[in-house]
Structure 1
Amino acid sequence: MQITETIQLEIGNAIPHGTPDETRRAVDLWKEVDGWFDGRPFKVENPISGAPEVFRISLDAAPLIGLMERALNTAGSFDAWRLRHAQDETVPLTGHLNITVEVVEGSEAPYSRYHAAAVFIQTLLLGVNLSQPGACQFLATRFVGKQAHRFEAQDFDSKAFYDGMQSARENGWPKIDSLPFSQVWTWLEQIGASEKNTVIKDINKVLVDMLKIAQQRYRYGARTAMLVANQLEMLMNTKREQDMTHLRDRVSLVLGQPTEAADCFNELHRLREALFHGDHPVRRPALVYHDADEEVRQQLAQHNSGVEKAIAVVLALVQDLIRHRAECYRFSETMSRG
């Protein structure tokens, strides 16, 4: 008899940023997600033995969707709901997901099932935010269920995905679309996004780095800048080059020429060099807060930093790979004499 367990992910802060239109699209997206996982095969690597394992995953996202619909119907948008929460602590941001994990092939130990659930949550976060950047965040999370006290859930913010999309809109480049979740998840399965704990393929390195960026809260620090620069170099196969000129040329071949406002490559290169040599200021970890005066809100609403622009490029490149069902770019150079 196969072992099946339902693990609840409680999300203390489940409402991301969103305008009225973005909120409506996010609710529709989550309804698509809710119907996608019904005993769907999910492959992971056992973190202790290294053996491949197969599970069947079912997802009940109705409680989270109910919270999102309440925010939409009552306040008109996620942003308006978040503002109400800042003014009134009884306005909830808490939602939860029910994840049913069935062991098909692998260890029957609780650790194995919770590991599968954790990797599924990571992959789900990527899938939703590659479908509509900024539509998914899991903050102040904890597992609820049998043996749950033994395991810590992971927190991931939607900020980087949302800010990247906003930067692209404001600067007129690159083009970032909304993609069907089914298309994104099929691609994630195609590249084996969940199957290894230590990844070797460049595209999976890029996705794992996305998760690390999503763990960065409030401000983009040195770690984020380094990760984004590395993501671009892996995607464009320009590692170990002295500057980003060649990288910029290759990105332009894929996404078109950047607008002047969106051209982040020199800025990102200078930032990375300053970080590498210790010439950049270091910020203290900041207090995360959910209310601010108007002046600070306006400052936080600006999406013009080199890091945000670079995140937009990474999102656009990965979406391009998804649309073409590819996992890498190949560049060739030819010469002939007439």
Structure 2
Amino acid sequence: MSAQSTSTYLISLEFKNFSRDMEDHYKTIDPSIEAFWHKASKILRQCEYTHNDCTITIDVGWQRMANRIRRDNDLLRPVRIGTPLDKKWFSKVSRPLKITAKVNTINKNKYSDYKWYPSFFIEAFIHEFFLIANLSTPGSANFRSLFINSGNESRSTEVRLSSFCFENGWVESLDGGWPTVEALPIEDVREWFQAISIGYKQRASTGIEKALYVLLHMAKDETRIDSVIWIFNGLEALVSTRVGESVSGLVRRLGMILDLDLPAQKKLNKEIRSLYDLRSSFVHGGYAVPHPIHSEVIDRALDDDATKLYQLHQFGASLLISTIQALIKKKIINLRFDEFMTVEKI
């Protein structure tokens, strides 16, 4: 038997913009984010993949992020009440953070000698970490501008994943809004992700995988009209809605997962139909397409359109997040909806 060969790579992760998008409910959310990172630095730092006879292990020193988040919150706390203690607080919280990740590749395959190979698995790990973090503590992992540099590649790989929809959904829920987006125990979310075992899969095959990948696509983009298409893709894939089925079927199935009573289902039906009407207007040519410059100052007619799009987009995103969180809480990793017919004969 031939001896195993191991190659080790040190990869730099540079986070250039990772603070919260909002300041609302900082007394509740900031400590929750600190607690998440304290645990994540211990239980989410390592991962292992197997690809074509090659084993890839990853170890990320998240403790530096945990320390930085705690320090930044200490600096921002007095600022938020109007009494900053450090005159250089802004430059300090705006400073980029570098973290080192170690990647080991054990054995070889036809791809393992390529320079991009270890970086690919770091990037896959970062995307899954982003989902685990924000489904556990919404807004905790805001990777708006993250650069992956292995040192042996000619250029860095930029990852852009915004946690805004997660955080805003939680803020609106704390304000009494619905759908409910909340914090979940990190251990429960990690266990659920381990069970569904996405790994480095590049093409979703189940409804749950499709919905999770939709969240990633939405995190890469701004609030635009085409994001409404992604929302319906995620919701319909999650509850196995067939082509041509009515909105009522989508509402009924979502209601089952979310344990909605009749009044709540009626409210959901109303909001889903508004979202569907917006989707249809875009798909079928009825949408008033804005100029790419999109200056609301020059043309105030954009105000109402932008507000409507923002509100419906956030509702749809929160609904998708809330539904996935419901599956996590119920420990559901696969679901199927069966239609039954009950008859009575003469």
- TM-score, length basis structure 1: 0.82
Determine if the alignment matches structure 1 residue 67 to structure 2 residue 71: no
Q: 1:211-245, CA deviations, whole angstroms, 9 ceiling, x for partnerless residues?
A: 1100113xx11221110111111111113135411
Query: How far apart are residue 135 of structure 1 and its match?
Result: 1.4
Alpha-carbon distance in 1 for matches of 2:80, 2:140: 12
Q: Runs of 5+ in structure 2 lacking a partner?
A: 295-305
Alpha carbons of structure 1 residues 280 and 25: separation in structure 2 relative to 1, 3 Å: same
Residue 109 of structure 1 and its aligned partner are, at CA, apart by 3.0
Task: State whether residues 143 and 149 of structure 1, in contact with CA within 8 Å, keep that contact through their aligned partners in structure 2.
Answer: no
Amino acid at match of 1:22: I
Aligned to 1:317: 323
Give the alignment partner of residue 200 of structure 2, picking from 185, 195, 206.
195
Secondary structure of 1:322's counterpart equals: helix
Task: Write the letter of the residue equivalent to 1:98.
Answer: T
Q: For the structure 1 residues 105 and 120, does the alpha-carbon distance in structure 2 shift closer, same or farther, using more than 3 Å as the test? A: farther
What's the counterpart of residue 40 of structure 2? 33
The equivalent of 1:179 in structure 2 is: 184
> 1:60: Cα distance to partner?
0.7
Give the CA deviation at 1:276. Answer: 0.5
Q: 1:95 aligns with which of 91, 97, 100?
A: 97
What CA distance in whole angstroms lies between the structure 1 residues aligned with 2:290 and 2:195? Answer: 39
Q: Deviations over 1:161-215 (max 9, x none)?
A: 1223334444543333322223222322322222311222221111111111001
Distance 1:121 1:194 in 2: 11
- The DSSP-based 3-state class of the residue aligned with 1:3 is strand
Determine which of 206, 212, 216 is the counterpart of 2:211: 206
Give distance in 2, aligned partners of 1:78 and 1:234. 44
Q: Structure 1 residues 171 and 332, CA, compared in 2 at 3 Å: closer, same or farther?
A: farther
Instruction: Give the corresponding residue for 1:9.
Output: 13
The equivalent residue for 1:236 is 239
**Residue type of the alignment partner of 1:249:** R
Query: Are residues 39 and 130 of structure 1, via their aligned partners in 2, closer, same or farther at CA, if it must alter by over 3 Å?
Result: closer
* Number of the residue aligned with 1:306: 312
Contact 1:167 1:312 in 2 (8 A): no
Q: Tell me, what secondary structure is at the counterpart of 1:331?
A: coil
In the alignment, residue 70 of structure 2 is paired with which amino acid?
A: E
Q: 1:122 to 1:112 in 2, by over 3 A?
A: same
Q: How many equivalent pairs are there?
A: 316
Give the letter for the 2:10 counterpart. T
* In 1, Cα distance between equivalents of 2:46 and 2:217: 28
Alpha-carbon distance in 2 for matches of 1:332, 1:325: 20
Q: Whole-Å Cα distance in 2 between the matches of residues 303 and 62 of structure 1?
A: 38
Relative to structure 1, the CA distance from residue 303 to residue 226 in structure 2 (aligned partners, 3 Å threshold; closer, same or farther) is closer
The superposition leaves residues 48-103 of structure 1 with CA deviations (integer Å, 9 ceiling, x where unpaired) of: xxx4753111121122222211222122299889x99xx98524332233221111
Q: Secondary structure at the match of 2:100?
A: strand
Displacement of 1:131 in angstroms is 0.6
- Secondary structure in structure 1 of the residue aligned to 2:160: coil
Answering whether residue 339 of structure 2 is matched by residue 333 of structure 1, we say yes
> Which one has the largest radius of gyration?
2
Show CA shifts across 1:273-320 (max 9, x none). 011012223345579xxxxxxxxxxxx999971221121111111112
Alignment of 1:128-143 (within 5 A): 128-143=133-148
- Residue 294 of structure 1: aligned partner: none
- TM-score after normalising by structure 2: 0.80
Question: 1:214 and 1:304, CA in 2 relative to 1: closer, same or farther beyond 3 A?
Answer: closer
Flag the 1:153–1:73 CA change in 2: closer, same or farther, 3 A: same
8 A contact 1:41–1:56 mirrored in 2: yes
> 8 Å contact 2:145–2:160 — kept in the other structure?
yes
Aligned-pair identity (%)? 18
Equivalent position amino acid for 2:31 in 1 = R
Q: How do residues 82-121 of structure 1 correspond to structure 2 at under 5 angstroms?
A: 90-93=91-94, 94-106=96-108, 107-121=112-126
Question: Given the alignment, which residue of 247, 251, 255 partners 1:248?
Answer: 251
Unaligned 5+ segments in structure 1 are: 46-50, 288-299
Contact 2:13 2:148 in 1 (8 A): yes
**AA in 2 matched with 1:269:** Y
Once the two structures are superposed, what CA deviation does each residue of 1:138-178 show, in whole Å capped at 9, x if it has no partner? 12222244224434121111112122333444454333332
3-state SS of paired residue (2:37)? helix
Counterparts of 2:309 and 2:237, CA distance in 1: 24
Shift of 1:266: 0.8
